[in-house]
Amino acid sequence: SPNQSPTGLSLETKAGLKLIKPVLELKNVSTYYPGKQSYFKKQKFNQANYNINLKLRPGEIHAIVGESGSGKSTLGNTIVGLVDDFEGEFIFQGSNYNPRIMSDLRSEIQIIFQDSLSSLNPRMKIGTAIIDVIKHHHPNTDVTERMDELFFKVNLSIITAGKYPHELSGGQRQRACIARALAVEPKILICDEIVSALDVSVQAKILNLLLRLVEEDHLAILFTTHDLHVVESFAHHVVVMKDGKIVEKGVTKDIFTNPQNAYTKTLLQSIPEKVNS
């Protein structure tokens, strides 16, 4: 329908999102990581991100697209305090915060990584891992009922609660990681290449799950990927990164139909042509 955005939301709904205040805002954020160090020379720092400006609103999916080494994963890690050296402003719900002191915001901003196997404790059953999170963050909650809700929300059979991570498929493990992140009731999910290691059919199911979470729970999602094709029918906005800098950003449809930057055009040209059925 001509009145539909690439995500299936009406254009009116999408336009209305701009009226909502950002849940997360980055102003001139730059990130550094330590280079080689020797006894005789002062340690140098290499720059990973340059003056990043970004606004993320509730109910929005921002896709950050770039090749390996573009700085997209570093940006996500910086937001949640996994990087030590940075500068710039970080604003959550209108108030500045310091990513080095994330204790107050740990439950508000959750990150999910590409490698679901190493993200889960190999000696802990899936159900136990999620129960521990519920007990820690919501001690007065009916744990069993809440776990059932989470498993239902991420389309994971409750049978998997009694299994260890290595006994599950990659898609099941990633759903378990999403359920664990949702257990703390965050406002923001940062998804770092979370579908890149999955089969195409499984990718689509995980993306549909994230879309549903945005629409039902009004979550804000920052979704990093090297694959521009993945985000075409999924994200509200696309941010294209190269060498630590944002080279282009805009509404998904505009990026795909009328890219302005040469690098964005190159990425689009690398997408396989759709085969007519």
Q: What is the pLDDT of residue 6?
A: 44
Within 13 A of 193's CA, how many CA atoms are on the CB side?
Answer: 16
Please count the structural domains in the chain. Answer: 1
Report which of 111, 96, 95, 82 is spatially closest to residue 186, judged by C-alpha positions. 111
pTM summary value: 0.88
CA–CA distance, 59 with 75 (Å, rounded to integer):
20
Total length of the chain: 277
Does residue 144 lie in a domain region? Answer: no
pLDDT one digit per residue (tens) for the chain, 277 residues: 334 444 444 434 444 555 789 999 999 999 998 876 666 666 667 889 999 999 999 999 999 999 998 999 999 999 999 999 999 999 999 999 999 887 778 889 999 999 999 999 999 999 999 999 999 999 999 999 999 999 999 999 999 999 999 999 999 999 999 999 999 999 999 999 999 989 999 999 999 999 999 999 999 999 999 988 889 989 999 999 999 999 999 999 999 999 999 999 999 998 876 544 3
Q: Is residue 244 part of a domain?
A: yes
DSSP assignment of 35-99: ----SSSPPPEEEEEEEEEEEE-TT-EEEEE--TTSSHHHHHHHHTT--SEEEEEEEETTEE--T
- The pLDDT of residue 229 is 87
Supply the range of the domain harboring residue 59.
1-37+44-102+222-227+235-277
Rounded to the nearest angstrom, the gap between the alpha carbon of residue 28 and the centroid of all alpha carbons in its chain is 20
At 44 the pLDDT is 65
Is 11 within a domain? yes
Give the CATH number for residue 277: 3.40.50.300
- Dist. CA 181–CA 183, nearest whole Å: 5
Residue whose tokens read 């970080």 = 90
Which tokens hold the place of 96? 């500045």
- For residue 59, being part of any structural domain is answered with yes
One-letter identity of residue 46: N
Q: Is residue 250 part of a domain?
A: yes
Structure tokens that stand for 31 in this block? 């990130």
| Domain presence at residue 263 | yes
Does residue 56 lie within any of the structural domains? yes
Give yes or no for a contact between 120 and 176, defined as CB atoms under 8 angstroms apart: yes
Please check whether residue 271 lies inside any domain of the structure. yes
Q: 216 — phi, psi (to 5°)?
A: -85, -40
